[in-house]
Copies of this chain bind each other. A is one copy, B any other.
Amino acid sequence: MTSSPTPVSLRIKPGPNRLAVTGIGNAMLDIISQDDREVYRDLGLVKAAMSLIEEDQLDVFYNAMGPTIQMSGGSVANSIAGVAALGGTCGYIGKVADDEFGERFRHDLRSMGVELDLAVAKAGEGATGRCHVFITSDAQRTMATYLGASNKLNVDDIKEDLISRSEITYIEGYLFDLPPAKESIRKVVNFAHDHDSMVALSLSDMFCVDRHRRDFLDLVTSDVDVLLANETEILSLFQFDRLEQAFGALDEIGVLAVVTRGAKGADVATVSGVVSVPAFEVEHVVDQNGAGDMFASGFLYGLALGADPVEAAELGSLCAGEVITHLGARPESDLELLGIDAGLL
């Protein structure tokens, strides 16, 4: 069951325990390195894409990296951190191991006031997930991800509480890589429908879309209210060459969609046609990692506040503009203040 594609009348329902957005995704630590020597090539990684690696490859990848900065990551977890930085109440559902990385992941969201429902993997189910991020001088990021404990999220870990209190339930497309993905995602969607929480989906990665195209299409067609993707992901979903074709398909499905296009801004597909929102201008792009995640923060929080989708996309652009000026995929500034200064909050 799909809600109206333009939720202009959406407001955060009154009540002390309401949440703007709850996210479900792969809980990850990011291990970030400037990669001027392009060692990602020697490691067999595809530039600007996310490749999956196994636990026994962790040492090889880490040892090949230059000096690193470590911080919490995970695509939807980053978006949730962004909503919190915008002043929104939010929740997060994911899975970590009982280790130092898991503790750091927990700390970083909790310290922003995010309500957590973090399942803890059993011994032998792997360490907390981590993503090796190689930033090249063109500000592109190439990723090698060890899913670890995050990949053990199962249907029993999906609880109703946070979803039942949320305006929007935001699902990470990467979850389709989980072995019991469909059951878990079905449970999330059912909880959301039961409580009138809008279902938002990130397509996450063009290769992930390629691996699970049929499942993505089924979900988008039947259950998703808001779809977030970049150009390559949306083209991969429909296997089209041109964005116009994708927007045609989205229009037929009747889903509110936003397609982020890097420096070209974002295209919002609304009932009244496609509206382009320019990228926020920044002096110097350091690291595009997190741009899509932070766009989602502003966009979803805007929608949860009752903004129309174009206004919400403007807030998304503002948040994306902040995160690309520094290393790392989480905001370094008070996004709420930036949003107020820009007249968007």
- Chain A positions within 8 Å of B, measured between CB atoms, are 34, 36, 62-63, 65-72, 81, 100, 104, 107-109, 111-112, 283, 286, 326-328, 330, 332-334
Measured CA separation A111–B35 after assembly (Å)? 11
Chain A interface, DSSP helix/strand/loop, else mixed:
loop
Residues of B within 8 A of A36 (CB): 334
Residues of B within 8 A of A70 (CB): 69-71, 104
The oligomer's copy count stands at 2
Contact of A63 among B67, B107, B112 (CB under 8 A): B107
The smallest C-beta distance from A88 to any residue of chain B, in angstroms, reads: 15
- Given A66-B112, A70-B71, 7 more contacts at CB 8 Å? A36-B334, A63-B107, A67-B72, A67-B109, A67-B111, A67-B112, A69-B70
Contact of A111 among B65, B71, B334 (CB under 8 A): B65
Q: Can you give 29 A-B contacts (C-beta < 8 A)?
A: A34-B332, A34-B333, A36-B334, A63-B107, A65-B111, A66-B111, A66-B112, A67-B72, A67-B81, A67-B107, A67-B108, A67-B109, A67-B111, A67-B112, A67-B330, A68-B71, A68-B104, A68-B107, A68-B108, A69-B69, A69-B328, A70-B71, A100-B100, A283-B283, A286-B326, A326-B326, A326-B327, A327-B327, A327-B332
Closest to A334 in B: B36
Measured CA separation A104–B29 after assembly (Å)? 14
Closest to A100 in B: B100
Measured CA separation A65–B328 after assembly (Å)? 18
The smallest C-beta distance from A82 to any residue of chain B, in angstroms, reads: 11
Residues of B within 8 A of A109 (CB): 67
Closest to A67 in B: B108
Measured CA separation A70–B162 after assembly (Å)? 29
Measured CA separation A158–B253 after assembly (Å)? 70
7 closest Cβ contacts across the A-B interface? A67-B108, A70-B70, A69-B71, A66-B111, A326-B326, A67-B111, A36-B334
